[in-house]
Amino acid sequence: MHLKIIGSAAGGGFPQWNCNYRLSRGAWDGATNVVPRTQSSLAASANGKDWVLFNTSPDIRQQIAATSDLQPRAYGPLRATPIRAVVLTNADVDHIAGLLSLREREPFAIYAAHRVLEVLDANSIFNVLDRSIVERRELVLNEATDILDSKGHPTGVVIEAFAVPGKVALFLEDLSKAADGFGTQEGDTIGLRISSRAGGRGAFYIPGCARIDDPLKRRVSGADCLLFDGTLFTDDEMIVAGVGAKTGARMGHLQISGASGSMTALADLDIKRRIYVHINNTNPILDETSVERAAVREAGWEVAHDGMEVTF
């Protein structure tokens, strides 16, 4: 199984288009200690020929342009793509907006939990993806699913989707239910186990997670690779930086540091390779010379960058 991290930043990318915080400023100015990143997305292939995307960010065209495996084959048909399917982990804008760029009547399949499919169904703009060409398929949680192309042929990629603690997408929040997670329901945020066959070696992709509970720890223990939510280093990071009023918890993201952070919560698990993904533009781990970057590296974590590859 071959994985390519084609987008490693959180919503807005890095540097974010309107951000002048010191990290983004460094990226704008070409500082060598910070590397620009596009918005969160992953590609996987079991055979090196057929590819499955996990989330489609607004940067999808740029990501395809930077990834030759996702481009039309030389001397192939006039319209073609090796992208056979898209799997969505939630309905956040940075994960679904890229679908609109894949609208050129090219056949592929969309897989998502029922809650996310409801979002697509309720918004008529997604009808630019003709359902007779781009089929929408519901993921059943906690069951192995063979990802099939538009014609029902197996891609060789197998996933198991499972609910993780998270939050409903920002544009779907019900403020009258603030005390109850703003209307969050099961299926609003899912994690994925990705493998080339059911029960085989696998990687976990969890770009959004609000907390780590015992069931999640049991699930990911022994993983060949864990790609986990690295949005913020500290819960109040955006507030301290002066660029926002929300904590990580309010946004449905668990911080990396501290006694309750992901670095500590997952420290005792047997995970062969662990990588932080979905990194916000305020997160100091983006600075390759920072003490925070050194801390995650010392704890055995890697920091994702666009173009990073994982093979198992």
Q: What is the pLDDT of residues 254-291, one digit of tens each?
A: 999 999 999 999 999 999 999 999 999 999 999 999 99
Distance CA 306, CA 38 (A): 7
pLDDT-wise least confident of 183-187, 194-198, 257-261, 263-267:
183-187
Cα separation values, 30 from 8, 27, 36, Å? 18, 5, 9
CATH of the domain at 215: 3.60.15.10
Are the CB atoms for 209 and 163 separated by under 8 Å? Answer: no
Domain that holds residue 232: 2-311
- With bands split at pLDDT 50, 70 and 90, how would you rate the model's confidence at 304? very high
pLDDT at 211 over 90: yes
The mean pLDDT value of the chain amounts to 95
Question: Percent of the chain, pLDDT > 90?
Answer: 90
Reported as a single tens digit per residue, the pLDDT across 51-81 is 999 999 999 999 999 999 999 999 999 999 9
For residue 199, pLDDT beyond 70: no
Please give the Cα distance from 284 to 305 (Å, whole number).
14
Residue written as token pair 């198992």: 312
Q: How confident is the model at residue 308, as a pLDDT? A: 98
DSSP string spanning 272-301?
A: S-EEEESB-TT-GGGSTTSHHHHHHHHTTE
| Helix extents (H) in the chain | 22-28, 60-65, 93-96, 114-122, 214-220, 237-241, 248-251, 262-265, 291-298
* Overall number of domains in the chain: 1
Q: How far apart are CA 236 and CA 234, in angstroms?
A: 6
Amino acid letter for position 47:
N
